[in-house]
């Protein structure tokens, strides 16, 4: 059974700082997705990572995938308050079904 | 990517009653997915709804509690039956965005509170 874990679960950081969120999964998969969820809102797609070594960047966020280590990272550079949200990774189980990570609630302090 | 209209956006329901949630997609899709997000938790897949066949339920979810309809390739409903306070959650539908390589698009969600 595919399990997806994220850490940290909660992250409070100062504006301007860098930090990394980790997503580990338990079985082989070569498709991993990152989503953002604002309070009371639905999910917004951030990144789609489809192969080992894939790296995607958008603004202050950069995501990478290491399928051999079964690890994805979401790196935040010079955080700003607008990045405050909950971030989820999701892994394709191989049958077009997502298994979501536990989520990381990020709060960026001014 | 697909655009999903999900209704209602929120509701407060009495225990023992049922609520039907609707999702309308602006394009034809083979698979639609229904998720539950309990307060402060991650998303859990309830079932996969394919047009023309019975929905496929995940472990811990049964058809009697969460009946699903999929009358055509653009529409699906999820009913939460005989509700209890434990059913208070956000329910979301989801469809693939231009094929699985582009991830999935989610509806705006239905925030259900059972009192």
pLDDT digits (tens, 9 = 90+) for A1-27: 889 999 999 999 999 999 999 999 998
Q: How many residues does chain B have?
A: 115
- Residue B93, token pair as written in the block: 């539908």
Tell me if B48 and A97 make a contact (CB, 8 A cut-off). Answer: yes
Q: Are B14 and B87 in contact (CB under 8 A)?
A: no
DSSP collapsed to 3 states, chain A = CCCEEEECCEEEEECCCCEEEEEEECCCCCCEEEEEECCCCCEEEEEEECCCCCEEEECCEEEEEECCCCEEEEEECCCCHHHCEEEEEEEECCCCCEEECCCEEEEEEC
pLDDT in tens, B19-66: 999 999 999 998 899 999 998 899 999 999 988 888 999 999 999 999
pLDDT in tens, A40-89: 888 999 999 988 888 999 999 999 999 999 999 999 999 999 999 999 99
Q: Chain A closest CA to B89's CA: distance in Å?
A: 11
**Chain A residues touching residue B106 (CB < 8 angstroms):** 42-43
Distance CA A28, CA A25 (A): 8
Q: Chain B closest CA to A32's CA: distance in Å?
A: 9
Q: How many residues does chain A have?
A: 110
Q: Quote the distance between the C-alpha of residue B113 and its chain's center.
A: 15
Residue B102, SS3 per DSSP: helix
* H or E element, residue B45: strand B43-50
């Amino acid at each position: 059974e595919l399990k997806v874990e994220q850490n940290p679960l909660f992250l409070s950081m100062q504006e301007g700082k860098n930090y990394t969120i980790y997503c580990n999964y338990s079985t082989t998969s070569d498709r991993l997705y990152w989503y953002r969820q604002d309070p009371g809102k639905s999910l917004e797609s951030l990144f789609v990572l489809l192969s080992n070594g894939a790296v995607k960047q958008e603004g202050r966020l950069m995501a990478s995938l290491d399928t051999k280590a079964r690890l994805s990272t979401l790196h935040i550079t010079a955080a700003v308050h607008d990045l405050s949200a909950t971030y989820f990774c999701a892994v394709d189980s191989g049958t077009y079904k997502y298994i979501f990570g536990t989520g990381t609630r990020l709060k960026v302090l001014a | 990517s697909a655009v999903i209209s999900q209704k209602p956006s929120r509701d407060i329901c009495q225990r023992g009653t049922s609520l039907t949630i609707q999702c309308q997609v602006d394009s034809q899709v083979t698979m639609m997915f229904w998720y539950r997000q309990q307060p402060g938790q991650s998303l859990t897949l309830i079932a996969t709804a394919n047009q023309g066949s019975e929905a496929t339920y995940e472990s811990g979810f049964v058809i009697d509690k969460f009946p699903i309809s999929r009358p055509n390739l653009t529409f699906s409903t999820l009913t939460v039956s005989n509700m209890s306070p434990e059913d208070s959650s956000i329910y979301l539908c989801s469809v693939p965005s231009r094929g699985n390589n582009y991830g999935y698009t989610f509806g705006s969600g239905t925030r259900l509170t059972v009192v």
